[in-house]
C-alpha cells in the first residue's frame, strides 16, 4: 500500500507541524486542520493544491514546479473513493530550479486532483491539461480560507460550467455553495451542506442545476473541514479553468487578451451588502488609459464588463474598487464554419468551431520577485510572459529561465504605465522562470496552441 504524504505547513513567525502518519493498520490518521495562509509563498516549506488535473485516455496533465533553492517535491494524487491509498511521486529540483512532471507517469486514471509538498522554498506550482482539442490550467493555491469566491461562470447556450470541490485532507468537509446571476441570488438548494469525504472530490455541473444563465458567480463556504474549489468553463472544444479567490479592493490582470480577435471580459462579483464602484484602468504596450471604465457592482448581481472596444493589441487591466470585489478575466474566440446549405449553394453560417477560451484570476498587489512555474514548458504551445507596470518608474526586469540546465538571463525594460509581452515559445530545457524587477510589477503568462489558449497567474515570492 502506497504511503500517504505528510503535509507540513510552516508560517513565517510560528512553526506548527501537522503530521499524517502511515494509514496501515490505523484506519485514518489524526489531523488538526490546515492553517490559513497568505497567497505569498513562504520562505520555508510549502504545500500547493491543484484541483483541476486530469490524465486519461484523451487528456494529459503536467505539474509545473519552480523553486529558488534545491528542494524535494512530493506529488500526491488522491483517489475519488474515500480511504483508498493515493498515488505518490517524488522528484528532486536542483539548482536549475524548475521541472515539468507528467502526471501520466505517476498514474493515468482520468480526473486526478493533486497536491504538491516542497521540503524547502520559496517554491510554487501550476497545473496544465492538454489534449488534441484544448489547453487549460492555472496556478495552484497555497492559502486555504473557509470562504472562496468564484466569479466568471456562465451556463449560457454553448458553454458548460463545472465546479470541482477538492478535499485533499483526511477529515470530512461539509460545504455549501451559493450563487448569484444577472437575475440576483440563484437558489442552489441541492448544493447545501454537501459532504466531501477526506482525500476525495466532487464535480458539480451547473448547467444541469441552473441552465441558461449569462453570468454566474459562486461562493463556496466550508462549515466543517476545508476544500479547494476550482471552476471550469468550456465550449465545444477548448475550456478555461481557474481557482477560487478572495475579494480585494485592487486587482491587476497582466493579461486580459493577447490580441483583438480574442474578446476580453472582466467578471466582477460583490458578496457584500452594499453597491461597489469599480474603476478600470487599461494598459497596452503604448501606455495607459486611466479610468477607461467605471461601473457599479450591486450585491448578489455579478457584473460582466466587455472590454472588446478597448482592444488594439494585447491588453492588461487594473481594477480599483470602493470595497472588496472578486474578479477574473476571460478572453473568448469564436470562428464560424461557412457551408453550403441548399441546392442553390447558398452559403449560410454553420455551427461555431474553434471556440477557444482562456481565463485567470488577478494579482492583488504588484511585487518585485515572482516565480512562474511552467512558462516555456508546455509542449506544442507558444508561451508569452506578460509584465504589467502600473507604477510611475521604468521597471528593469530580469527573466531567469529555470530548468534542466543553467541558462542565461535576459533583461527587459517596462515603461511606466504599460504592458510588455515577451514571446518565449517552447523549450524542452526550460520548466519555468524566476522574474525579478527593479520596481513592483505584476506577472502572468499565456500559452497558445492550435488546440486552445490558456492564461496563468504568476506567484509572488518577494514584495
Count of beta carbons in the 10 Å neighbourhood of residue 25: 5
pLDDT, residue 89, reads 96
Distance, CA of 211 to CA of 205 (rounded, Å): 10
Q: Of 417, 423, 424, 411, which is closest to residue 442 (Cα–Cα)?
A: 417
* Edge-to-edge order in the sheet of strand 71-77: 46-50, 114-118, 71-77, 87-93
Task: Please check whether residues 379 and 396 belong to one and the same domain.
Answer: yes
Q: What separation in angstroms does the CA of 303 have from each of 181, 216, 231, 315, 332? A: 9, 9, 17, 19, 17
How is residue 416 annotated by DSSP?
A: T
Task: Please check whether residues 225 and 195 belong to one and the same domain.
Answer: yes
Does some domain include residue 137?
no
Higher per-residue confidence, 258 vs 336: 258
Does some domain include residue 374?
yes
Task: Please check whether residues 355 and 299 belong to one and the same domain.
Answer: yes
Q: What is the CATH number of the domain that holds 237?
A: 2.60.290.11
Does some domain include residue 432?
yes
pLDDT, residue 354, reads 58
Domain ranges, residue 428: 367-462
pLDDT, residue 236, reads 83
Task: Answer whether residue 25 shows pLDDT above 70.
Answer: no
Task: Please check whether residues 437 and 378 belong to one and the same domain.
Answer: yes
Q: Would you state the torsion angle of the CA atoms of residues 96, 368, 385, 430, taken in this order, to the nearest 10 degrees?
A: 0
Whether 308 contacts 264, CB under 8 Å: yes
C-alpha cell at 161: 460550467
Higher per-residue confidence, 33 vs 334: 334
pLDDT, residue 334, reads 60
Name every residue whose Cβ is closer than 8 Å to that of residue 212 and which is 6 or more positions away in sequence: 155, 156, 157
Task: Answer whether residue 224 shows pLDDT above 70.
Answer: yes
Higher per-residue confidence, 10 vs 463: 463
Task: Please check whether residues 322 and 261 belong to one and the same domain.
Answer: yes
Does some domain include residue 439?
yes
pLDDT, residue 417, reads 97
Distance, CA of 167 to CA of 203 (rounded, Å): 12
Task: Please check whether residues 310 and 336 belong to one and the same domain.
Answer: yes
Does some domain include residue 326?
yes
Task: Please check whether residues 346 and 373 belong to one and the same domain.
Answer: no
Distance, CA of 65 to CA of 362 (rounded, Å): 20
Higher per-residue confidence, 5 vs 430: 430
pLDDT, residue 355, reads 83
Task: Answer whether residue 6 shows pLDDT above 90.
Answer: no
Average of per-residue pLDDT across 456-462: 91
Task: Please check whether residues 332 and 383 belong to one and the same domain.
Answer: no
Domain end marker among 327, 345, 361:
361
pTM: 0.86
Whether 121 contacts 71, CB under 8 Å: yes
Average of per-residue pLDDT across 399-404: 93
Whether 226 contacts 281, CB under 8 Å: no
Q: Of 216, 217, 214, 242, which is closest to residue 228 (Cα–Cα)?
A: 242
C-alpha cell at 178: 451559493
Q: Which of the four pLDDT bands, split at 50, 70 and 90, describes residue 57?
A: confident
Task: Answer whether residue 1 shows pLDDT above 70.
Answer: no
Distance, CA of 386 to CA of 329 (rounded, Å): 14
Q: Phi and psi dihedrals of 190, rounded to 5?
A: -75, -10
Give the pLDDT confidence of 173-191 residue by residue, as tens digits. 999 999 999 999 998 999 9
Q: Which of the four pLDDT bands, split at 50, 70 and 90, describes residue 463?
A: low
Task: Answer whether residue 8 shows pLDDT above 90.
Answer: no
Task: Answer whether residue 61 shows pLDDT above 60.
Answer: yes
Average of per-residue pLDDT across 12-34: 32
Does some domain include residue 372?
yes
pLDDT, residue 276, reads 98
Q: Which of the four pLDDT bands, split at 50, 70 and 90, describes residue 263?
A: very high
- Number of structural domains found in the chain: 3
Task: Answer whether residue 41 shows pLDDT above 60.
Answer: no
Domain end marker among 316, 331, 361:
361
Task: Please check whether residues 211 and 171 belong to one and the same domain.
Answer: yes
Does some domain include residue 165?
yes
Q: What separation in angstroms does the CA of 154 have from each of 79, 181, 196? A: 29, 9, 24
Average of per-residue pLDDT across 386-391: 98
Task: Answer whether residue 401 shows pLDDT above 90.
Answer: yes
Task: Answer whether residue 37 shows pLDDT above 60.
Answer: no
Give the pLDDT confidence of 143-173 residue by residue, as tens digits. 889 999 999 999 999 999 999 999 999 999 9
Average of per-residue pLDDT across 444-459: 94
Average of per-residue pLDDT across 434-456: 95
13 burial class (0-12, 13-18, 19+ CB within 10 angstroms)? Answer: exposed
Distance, CA of 41 to CA of 1 (rounded, Å): 32
Does some domain include residue 134?
no
Task: Please check whether residues 270 and 348 belong to one and the same domain.
Answer: yes
12 three-class SS: coil
Task: Please check whether residues 342 and 389 belong to one and the same domain.
Answer: no
pLDDT, residue 258, reads 93
**Which of 8-22, 178-192, 344-358 shows the lowest mean pLDDT across its residues?**
8-22
pLDDT, residue 92, reads 94
Task: Please check whether residues 276 and 227 belong to one and the same domain.
Answer: no
Q: Phi and psi dihedrals of 111, rounded to 5?
A: -55, 130
Q: What is the CATH number of the domain that holds 310?
A: 2.60.290
Amino acid at each position: 500500500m502506497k504511503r500517504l504524504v505528510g503535509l507540513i505547513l510552516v508560517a513565517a513567525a510560528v512553526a506548527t507541524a501537522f503530521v499524517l502518519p502511515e494509514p496501515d493498520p490505523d484506519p485514518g490518521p489524526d489531523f488538526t486542520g490546515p492553517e490559513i495562509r497568505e497567497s505569498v509563498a513562504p520562505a520555508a516549506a510549502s504545500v500547493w493544491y491543484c484541483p483541476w488535473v486530469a490524465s486519461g485516455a484523451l487528456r494529459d496533465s503536467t505539474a509545473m514546479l519552480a523553486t529558488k533553492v534545491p528542494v524535494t517535491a512530493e506529488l500526491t494524487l488522491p483517489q475519488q473513493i474515500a480511504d483508498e491509498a493515493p498515488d505518490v511521486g517524488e522528484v528532486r529540483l536542483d539548482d536549475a530550479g524548475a521541472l515539468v512532471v507528467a502526471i501520466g507517469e505517476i498514474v493515468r486514471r482520468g480526473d486526478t486532483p493533486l497536491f504538491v509538498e516542497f521540503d524547502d522554498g520559496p517554491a510554487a506550482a501550476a497545473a496544465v491539461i492538454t489534449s488534441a482539442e484544448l489547453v487549460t490550467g492555472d496556478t495552484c493555491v497555497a492559502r486555504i480560507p473557509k470562504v472562496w469566491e468564484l466569479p466568471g461562470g456562465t451556463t449560457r447556450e454553448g458553454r458548460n460550467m463545472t465546479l470541482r470541490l477538492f478535499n485533499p485532507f483526511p477529515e470530512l468537509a461539509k460545504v455549501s455553495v451559493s450563487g448569484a446571476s444577472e437575475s440576483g441570488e440563484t437558489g442552489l438548494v441541492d448544493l447545501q451542506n454537501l459532504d466531501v469525504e477526506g482525500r476525495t472530490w466532487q464535480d458539480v455541473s451547473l448547467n444541469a442545476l441552473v441552465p441558461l444563465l449569462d453570468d454566474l458567480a459562486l461562493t463556496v463556504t466550508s462549515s466543517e473541514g476545508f476544500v479547494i474549489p476550482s471552476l471550469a468553463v468550456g465550449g465545444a472544444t477548448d475550456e478555461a479553468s481557474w481557482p477560487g479567490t478572495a475579494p480585494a479592493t485592487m486587482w491587476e490582470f497582466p493579461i486580459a487578451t493577447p490580441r483583438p480577435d480574442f474578446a476580453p471580459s472582466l467578471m466582477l462579483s460583490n458578496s457584500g451588502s452594499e453597491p461597489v464602484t469599480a474603476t478600470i484602468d487599461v494598459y497596452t504596450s503604448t501606455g495607459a488609459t486611466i479610468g477607461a471604465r467605471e461601473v457599479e457592482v450591486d450585491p448578489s448581481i455579478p457584473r460582466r464588463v466587455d472590454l472588446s472596444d478597448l482592444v488594439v493589441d494585447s491588453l492588461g487591466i487594473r481594477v480599483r474598487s470602493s470595497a472588496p470585489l472578486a474578479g477574473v478575466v476571460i478572453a473568448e474566440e469564436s470562428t464560424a464554419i461557412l457551408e453550403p446549405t441548399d441546392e442553390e449553394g447558398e452559403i449560410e453560417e454553420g455551427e461555431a468551431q474553434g471556440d477557444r477560451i482562456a481565463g485567470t484570476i488577478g494579482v492583488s498587489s504588484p511585487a518585485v520577485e515572482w516565480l512562474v512555474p511552467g512558462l516555456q514548458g508546455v509542449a506544442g504551445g507558444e508561451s508569452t510572459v506578460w509584465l504589467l507596470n502600473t507604477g510611475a518608474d521604468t521597471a528593469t526586469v530580469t527573466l531567469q529561465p529555470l530548468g534542466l540546465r543553467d541558462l542565461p538571463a535576459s533583461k527587459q525594460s517596462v515603461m511606466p504605465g504599460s504592458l510588455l509581452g515577451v514571446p518565449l515559445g517552447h523549450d524542452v530545457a526550460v520548466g519555468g522562470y524566476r522574474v525579478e524587477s527593479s520596481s513592483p510589477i505584476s506577472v502572468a503568462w499565456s500559452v497558445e496552441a492550435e488546440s486552445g489558449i490558456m492564461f496563468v497567474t504568476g506567484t509572488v515570492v518577494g514584495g
